[in-house]
Amino acid sequence: MSATAFAAVVTVAAVAAGEAGSASGASTATPTTQAATDTAIAGLVEVKSLFEPPTVQTSDTATAVCPGEKVVVGTGFLIADPNVVATGLVVTEKTVKLRAHVDTSPNPGPWSAQAMAYCADRPKGYVLPPLVTSVRSAEAEKTVFATCPGNTQVLGTSFDTSNGNGRVVVDEILPSTNKISVKAFDRTPGNRWRLHVGAICAAPLDNRTVVTTSPVKFNSNGKAAEATCPIGTQVINNSFDLIGSLGQVNPTSAIRKVISSRTSQVAGFEAFGTNKSWAIRSFAVCA
């Protein structure tokens, strides 16, 4: 598929790359106006990793780092190539690391990737529970659930894969009140692999909610969907559901729109072309 067709679907790639490359290549952070209380997100900023020049490596990473004493409350990513798979979005209290790998395409071109960290003053009850890991097996499809402990709620999501090597595609990250569900497919089954899933949790927030969209189904190799948070809240985590794709569609972005901190935009692209009928939904955790 041509670069022109890909760019027509994920137009945010050029915008995000330009924004990240400004200010002498420094990461960008946009402050929120959210009031600082025990039951609201305080001091929210979005931090983007440097948008590095295109690489021809088989795999690469990009890391966004929270400033000062702020901690990670949510995640996002952008991959500027339809033939590259997000194999992990790994979270610590201070960092979000995107791991990406060229898929099984025979002739991949140069590509770039960017991680997004949504950082805030440490919320009450903030915790990163241990990752939940699937069995190591050669199953084509795996689903893993991660649950926040006690009375805490999901703010953000993380995932990782082992021995996926561009074959394993995460195509569903679904947040709820206190649990997340992540599904992945091995598009060429036969190798043993694992799926690891984590939740970013904190005490309940008065204005926290999860919003989603109706499935976007139009006939195209690439599709995008947007979910918009209620007035007075902002996106703190981006996730998606690629419905019916069965591992044949690469998620290429899960980002907060540059022009609106209330809108989460996700996109997916058929790297190989498929005769499957698929759709995409965007999920935003808002606070």
- For 16-70, the pLDDT digits (tens) are 333 333 332 333 333 333 333 346 799 999 999 998 788 888 999 999 999 999 9
Tell me the average pLDDT of the chain.
Answer: 85
pLDDT for 13 equals: 34
Going by C-alpha positions, the residue among 243, 263, 239 that lies closest to residue 253 is: 239
Amino acid at 15: V
Q: Is the pLDDT of residue 106 over 60?
A: yes
pLDDT for 40 equals: 76
pLDDT for 129 equals: 97
Distance CA 119, CA 254 (A): 16
pLDDT for 274 equals: 66
SS3 21: helix
Among 5-9, 31-35, 183-187, name the one with the lowest average pLDDT.
31-35
The percentage of the chain sitting over the pLDDT mark of 90, rounded to a whole number, equals 69
Among 165-169, 189-193, 218-222, 254-258, name the one with the lowest average pLDDT.
218-222
Among 74-78, 136-140, 165-169, 275-279, name the one with the lowest average pLDDT.
275-279
pLDDT for 36 equals: 37
Q: Is the pLDDT of residue 10 over 80?
A: no
Task: Return the DSSP state at 232.
Answer: T
Q: Are strands 279-286 and 209-212 parallel, antiparallel or unpaired?
A: antiparallel
Six token digits for residue 113: 């990737």
Q: Is the pLDDT of residue 260 over 50?
A: yes
- Whole-model pTM: value is 0.85
Q: Is the pLDDT of residue 224 over 50?
A: yes
Q: Return the top range by mean pLDDT from 105-109, 127-131, 221-225.
A: 127-131
pLDDT for 39 equals: 61
Going by C-alpha positions, the residue among 105, 51, 53 that lies closest to residue 250 is: 105
First-to-last alpha carbon distance for the chain, in angstroms, is 38
CA 177, 196, 268, 111: dihedral to nearest 10 degrees? Answer: 140
- Report residue 107's pLDDT band, with 50, 70 and 90 as the boundaries: low
